[in-house]
A and B are shown apart, each in its own frame.
Chain A
Amino acid sequence: MGQGNWRIRKITDRFAKIAFLCATLFGIAFLGVLLYRIVADGAGWLNWDFFTNFSSRFPAKAGVAAALVGSIWIVLLTGPIAFFLGVGTALYLEEYTKKSWFTRLIQVNIHNLAGVPSIVYGILGLAVFVQGLMLGQAVLAGVFTMSLLVLPIIVVSSQEAIRSVPQHMRNASYALGASKWQTISRVVIPTALPNILTGVILALSRAIGETAPLVVVGALTFVAFVPASPMDPFTVLPIQIFNWTSRPQDDFRAIAAAGIIVLLVVLLTMNLLAVYLRNKYQKRY
């Protein structure tokens, strides 16, 4: 009986290994096929003109200039705002307050907000920023909406990062006579920063791929100029790509693929930056 049991356990082991390998390969294979299709379709359209041209009815003249700059505007302005608000909230919750029903209420709300569909943030942004604050359909309205959207993600990941700073480092700082703010700004933040930055950049990666909230806030489809200030109307890469895929001409689908490549490169660059920052600052401790 012992013998048979042993065999069954070995078979189960092997089966589990194969099953999980399949699960891994399944995702990778699909990703591979998708990437191959996109690169095969779109690579031929990538040239300098594609980056300097605007939306056009002629496939050969269509480009991502307005959408790319619009996306960059969104990320560059959303970054600092969401960073300040998100890390500030995390510091307050982790370092300044005692656990109470109030902080628990905030905590529950933040976790719930992380699960709210993005379109709801769009409607909120339309009511508060576009109409309430009279910003109109401008870059800034999109930026504020996106900041709210990524805020819960940043708060949660920053909290994790701050919590992982060993208590003895704080104690050592206090023992040397440092005040609370000195301890936070010179010990806690620098130690937690790599992980905080990783969270922030991954959250921004989400922001750059979002379409629905920006459509509601009023990002446009045809914009043949580069937004020069945060008060200008704008479009972003996902909206431009979506518009191209819904056109009757086949060529536009290839151009959409080229647009997806641009979006992927921007995303990968941001993720690489996250990895780089994490490795660089972690070496110091």
Chain B
Amino acid sequence: MSLKKLGLAFVAVALTVSTLTGCGQGAKDAGATKASGSIKIDGSSTVFPITEAVAEEFQKANPNVKVTVGVSGTGGGFKKFVAGDLDISNASRTIKDAEKTQATSNKVDYVEIPIAYDGISIVVNKANTWVDKLTVAELKKIWEPNSKVKTWKDIRPNWPAEPIKLYGPGTDSGTFEYFTEAIVGEAKKSRPDYNQSEDDNVLVTGVKGDKNSLGYFGFSYYEENAKELKLVPIETGNGKTVSPTMETIKDGSYKPLSRPLFIYVSKTSLQKPEVKSFVKYYVENAEELTKAVHYVPLKKEEYQAGLSKVN
């Protein structure tokens, strides 16, 4: 008898929940626009904040469309995308040849739309008085595999002989992949003995708390913590020294550490009106929304070019 009661209780609670959620759904239907259906997005954690901002606004305007965004990383997102499981894939790099081949064999046709720039910022502790800038060659010397750099003195002889503490993203990160390719010269080749975290806040906290630290992570994390970190300008090949700012990232002068971010849209999904209107909404509002989440927007004509791929 108590078993029966228990079963009844379970059923009762389940029913209550489903009616409650059902009601919520019904109430929302009232003010809905025409578009309905679902849009599945997954991929890069770097692109996530932008796509989330777009999804949030789009969802408000179209309550009947169910937009979901996952964070599987660029590689993880493409894996699902080329299998045909996604409508849109967030990517912090362009699609690789191996992934293209899979897409073709699964008959997944797609369009690539750049949506923003991201800069990788090199930062040191506020109390660090000696670092004025770093050259690309010096960065390579610090981060390459089998690096001999153990103290600041190993970089430049007039810097202190204090041990250097390095902070950077973990090996699954798109930022890691991009940084190693741009600085070391080969993607995913890095010295392994540094403090790794997939969570950029951990890197920020690490650099903040250690006078001899040096770290790299996405520009938006520097922007949010600008008062507590010291940004290191980068000297490129021709002797020009550039700090990452909205302007230098946008006009491409912050080389080689600025990169474009993309969304990949399946052409089959573009046939669906809700996906098409979402992508149009994305590109049309990208300039404003990327700024809001501290990324760097593209130029107007670049957005125009993206839009023409959809229409």
Contacts and interface: CB of A to CB of B under 8 A. Distances in A.
B56 A57 contact: yes
B42 to A, nearest CB: 8
Given A72-B17, A249-B224, A281-B2, A79 B10 contact: yes
B21 A227 contact: yes
Given A246-B201, A248-B294, A225 B55 contact: no
A226 B14 contact: no
Contacts, number: 97
B48 interface: yes
Nearest to B222: A248
Contact of A226 (B24, B56, B68, B294): B24
Contacts of B98: none
Contact of B48 (A56, A189, A221, A253): A221
B35 to A, nearest CB: 14
A56 B56 contact: yes
B70 A220 contact: yes
Give the interface residue-count category, chain A: 35 or more
A17 to B, nearest CB: 39
B49 interface: yes
Given A57-B52, A224-B67, A248 B2 contact: no
Interface residues of B, number: 46
A191 B67 CA distance: 49
B53 interface: yes
Interface string B91-104: 00000000000000
Interface string B201-241: 10010000000000000001101110000000000000000
Contacts of B293: 57
B242 interface: no
Interface in A219-251: 220-229, 232-233, 243, 245-250
Nearest to B59: A224
A89 B222 CA distance: 55
Nearest to A227: B21
B10 A243 contact: no
Nearest to A226: B21
A73 B220 contact: no
A226 B25 contact: yes
B150 interface: no
B186 interface: no
A76 B292 contact: no
Interface in A240-269: 243, 245-250, 253
B66 A233 contact: yes
A247 B13 CA distance: 35
Interface of A: 54-57, 69, 72-73, 76-77, 79-80, 185, 189-190, 193, 197, 218, 220-229, 232-233, 243, 245-250, 253, 281
Interface of B: 1-3, 6-7, 10, 13-14, 17-18, 21-22, 24-25, 28, 38, 40, 42, 45, 48-49, 51-53, 55-56, 59, 66-71, 198-201, 204, 220-221, 223-225, 292-294
Rank and list the top 9 A-B pairs by shortest CB-CB distance, nearest first: A222-B69, A248-B224, A220-B70, A224-B59, A220-B68, A57-B53, A246-B199, A248-B221, A233-B68
16 contacts: A55-B52, A57-B53, A76-B13, A77-B14, A221-B70, A222-B51, A224-B55, A224-B59, A225-B28, A225-B66, A233-B40, A233-B66, A233-B68, A245-B201, A247-B201, A250-B224
